[in-house]
Chain A
Amino acid sequence: QSVLTQPPSVSGAPGQRVTISCTGSTSNIGAGYDVHWYQQLPGTAPKLLVYHNTNRPSGVPDRFSGSKSGTSASLAIIGLQAEDEADYYCQSYDGSLSIVFGGGTKLTVL
């Protein structure tokens, strides 16, 4: 059971928009700790996708965007492409548990 809750799976057709939620509590996201997102393509290491809630590292397309409100955060992907099919993880800090990850969300591009 992960401290941060993500839907196990989401799906969308090419060109569509999908969102992935990351729900925490008052001891992590709600306490003001930042949320970061990672993309893990099959058989590879995780890659930083969004940091500090809303920022993208250089090289990450602007189709990816992050947001945060209250005890939750979201990752939105617009203009879905086949290459976006991957697992996505949110990460934050928990005052009692240190670094925490969400359980991960598998994105399927239909």
Chain B
Amino acid sequence: EVQLVESGGGLVQPGTSLRLSCTASGFDFDDYAMHWVRQSPGKGLEWVSGISWNRGSEGYADSVKGRFTISRDSAKNSLYLQMNGLRAEDTAFYFCARRTLLGWFDSWGQGTLVAVSS
């Protein structure tokens, strides 16, 4: 069974940093691109960032470009999101998602909440 488990969320002050993790199991992690999608409370889904299966390419939403960095570790079957310079508008549930070669997200984690507030 495919499982994605996020961790690392919490309440932080504006301007600080946080690192999210997503541990994958039940599939060959190296075969899939992995992404982060966020959802502000009561709002819709917003794509944040993605990384290819071989770490050859990364992509970021304009809203986080230059502040967030995505990475992955095959040895640990893990996906990460380093978030720097956090802002109030970054407050959201952050979901880790597996993306198929043809473009859809076929597995999602349960999400981890990041709250940015002074």
Contacts and interface: CB of A to CB of B under 8 A. Distances in A.
A102 B44 contact: yes
Contact of B105 (A36, A44, A97): A36
A91 B44 contact: no
Contact of A51 (B104, B109, B111): B104
B53 interface: no
B104 A45 contact: no
Contacts of A45: 95, 108-111
B11 interface: no
B47 A101 contact: yes
A8 to B, nearest CB: 10
Report whether over half of chain B's contact residues are helix, strand or loop; otherwise say mixed: strand
Interface string A87-103: 00101010001111111
A81 B59 CA distance: 39
A52 B45 contact: no
Nearest to B96: A45
Nearest to A104: B44
B106 interface: yes
Contacts of B107: 48
Interface of B: 35, 37, 44-47, 50, 59, 61-62, 95, 100, 102-111
Interface of A: 2, 33-34, 36, 38, 44-48, 51-52, 57, 89, 91, 93, 97-104
